[in-house]
Amino acid sequence: MTIEAGQPLTGQPTSARQAGARRPLGELGRAALGRAGRAALLATGRPPVPDALEPLVRVHREHHPQADLGLLARAYRLAEASHRGQKRKSGEPYITHPLAVTMILAQLGAGTTTLVASLLHDTVEDTELTLDQVGAGFGPEVAYLVDGVTKLEKVDFGAAAEAETFRKMLVATGDDVRVMVIKLADRLHNMRTIRHMKPASQVRIAKVTRDVLIPLAERLGIQVLKAELEDIVFATLHPEEYARTRALMSGHESRPDALLEPFARLLARQLAETGVAAEVTVRPRHCVSLHRVLLKRAAAPGRDGQPQGPQPADFGRLLVVVEENADCYAVLGELHTCWTPLPGEFKDFVAAPKFNLYQSLHTAVALTGGTVVEVLVRTRRMHEVAETGVVALGDPEPAGAVQDADELDRTDPARPGWLSRLLEWQQETPDPDAFWSALTADLAGDREITVVTECGETLQLRAGATCVDAAYLLGEETGHRCIGARVNGRLTALSTVLQDGDRLAVLTETLPTGSVHTEDGPRAAEPSGPSPEWLAHARTPAARLAIERWLADHPARLPVVRTGPSSGQPAPPAHRAAERRSAPVAVAGRPGAPVRLARCCTPVPPDEVVGYPIRGGAVAVHRTGCPAGERMRAAGRAELDVRWQPEGAPADGHRATLRAEALNRPRLLADLTAAISAEGVGIVSAEVEPPQELRVRHTYTVELPEPAALPTLMRAMLRVSGVYDVSRPQAPEGGGAREPGGNGDDRPAPGVRPSWGIHGRSTAFSGHRSPGGAQGPEG
């Protein structure tokens, strides 16, 4: 469908009244004929329409047979009188512009109220007419639409006038989408006559149209308007490439179509034989669409290794229009049965419409000889919405109105989701330059994706969005508390780019209770919040603004890490260490032998242990099953029977090594050390390995006040937000240990690292929870 500007407004008959059959003048004089015509019009109760409106009225009546033509006539007369004497840069009377814009809207099928506002859309901006006068004459609805498209004065806003004008239009569009529809039609007519502008102005206007207006037309689903705007912008900014592409199109049009039209007739016969009522037509590509296909052809080498030239099937696609939704799938079945479908080319936008209400089935089939033809299948209603988008939904219904709708009709007349999100973040950007940059960046993506949360909520995101963007789309608090994500059932980094159809769970930290200590003193517990690195992963303005606002309100604070017992926790008696000087274990057959508790597995009562003789007559004690101990046994070391002494203890107390697997987040180290300290346990050493994707591993060697404190400590560490496993590591299976020396050190050889696993090995006590854990996925 191509929007035409309409017939010339003057100089030739444009109505039946003007070009009707002539009668002999002797039978009825000219004056009598005129009086009779006026009497006939008055008899029907229909006011006369100015001649200039006749083409517009004909088009409008095709969509709205009961339209109020008197209202249109009054609006035209007021606009003509207000603009009288004004000229466009082309030299034409200015009234030709609002008439042409209104014709575009009439061809789209817009309602009478929209056409009235379109006729008056420049009066408040360019004439002495006031908005109050428009409202008094045509009602508040028309006045709102006219005000929405009225530009702000450069005298008041200076260089920010254009950005603030678009902000004003977007806010008005949030309440009535017809504001932006009128603006798009206005820009289309201006682009049609852009040749009358200065070259510098042409480039500036074309770039704004490319960066803002065309993406808005795409999001509103007005495809016919978007396609023509794209072609004019292409011709303005890239005239040489446009000329080459147009030459290819003209050459193809001048030759008989030996591919698409015969295939269309063949498909129509096939569908008729199966009883599917359908219209099959060839849908030519517009200039920009063909140019994109040619670029893909040039980038993909053919069988001979050379870039491919244009193919006959590149110049168009087949469009199949049916009556019912079920017929779409019947057509698809015939296509895939009679011809070979291309894997990966099928898309079902009927069951899952695009963000701009678009619905169709897309497929591609290979014909005899290997030629690939793209086919679109849709119902008549889907075709109407695909061409004219929100205009096809009609004027907004009054509040509380209920419409009967087909359950399979997925069009939503409510405010589009992308517009709601845009209106939310624009309120946070008072600076015009920042708003303009964020707006163009947000509109840069030419498509959106759909992500479904594990709770069944559907999220619409721009293509290229990450888990960070999804977290903030669920709510600012959810974003601030986000510590990880699970995509399609697997843990993944927050920087992961989401794909259409992904299943997502946002993992959040549980807010701590009480207060935490900082170098500035105690403060109320709050989420850890985002880190500055998140800004590199945020693709949507809403997420970026929320992160920047958090970072500005929460300057970096250094947490105070306290080891040892916390306030309120009794310290272990000072004399306890002095009392426990006996050997921690007794070795059968070797009374008084020096005992070394292995550092690789840090045995603690009541672990099952085994001893091995080492140099110097000492005995190394390992937990049963420790790989390092097993290697010593395999090397010929004798196993010694050892048992824990009830009152025995090492000279430096019972030490244990604990490994915490966690989702990386800010302040995790501080929270873990605080949890250990709160149990009255001292930290001897700590090691934090570099994060790998989303996960991080902390290893602590602690000194226990009592061996029985170990299970309680592990549970306390597991309760820290983001920690999903706490275990007691052992030496790796394949990393050979060095010969234990007199100090009983059984550490792995240099370069050997513990094996990575989400569920670590543990004995005595094993703590594990799902990464969703007690926090639970939000959304």
For residue 749, report the phi and psi dihedrals to the nearest 5 degrees: -65, 155
3-state class (DSSP) for residue 472: helix
Rounded to whole angstroms, the Cα distance separating 654 from 597 reads 9
Which listed residue (51, 80, 126, 241) is catalytic?
Answer: 126
125 is a catalytic site residue: yes
Residue 136 φ/ψ region, left for φ over 0, alpha for ψ in the -120 to 50 degree band, beta for the rest: alpha
Alpha-carbon distances of 507 from 532, 777, 779, rounded to whole Å: 19, 5, 9
Rounded to whole angstroms, the Cα distance separating 629 from 641 reads 13
Which listed residue (80, 92, 125, 428) is catalytic?
Answer: 125
Long-range contacts of 773-777 (CB under 8 A, 24+ apart): 773/724, 774/510, 774/719, 775/483, 775/507, 775/508, 775/509, 775/510, 775/721, 776/508, 777/453, 777/454, 777/455, 777/486, 777/505, 777/506, 777/507, 777/508
231 is a catalytic site residue: no
Alpha-carbon distances of 209 from 181, 187, 194, rounded to whole Å: 14, 8, 12
Angle at 667 between CA 662 and CA 670, to 5 degrees: 90
Alpha-carbon distances of 485 from 293, 471, 501, 607, 777, rounded to whole Å: 37, 9, 16, 36, 8
Rounded to whole angstroms, the Cα distance separating 427 from 546 reads 12
- The answer to whether 484 and 770 have CB atoms below 8 angstroms apart is no
Rounded to whole angstroms, the Cα distance separating 425 from 414 reads 19
- The answer to whether 708 and 645 have CB atoms below 8 angstroms apart is no
- The answer to whether 529 and 546 have CB atoms below 8 angstroms apart is no
Considering only CA atoms, give the Rg of the chain.
38
- Angle, to 10 degrees, between the axis of helix 325-338 and the axis of helix 260-273? 110
Residues recognised as catalytic: 125-126
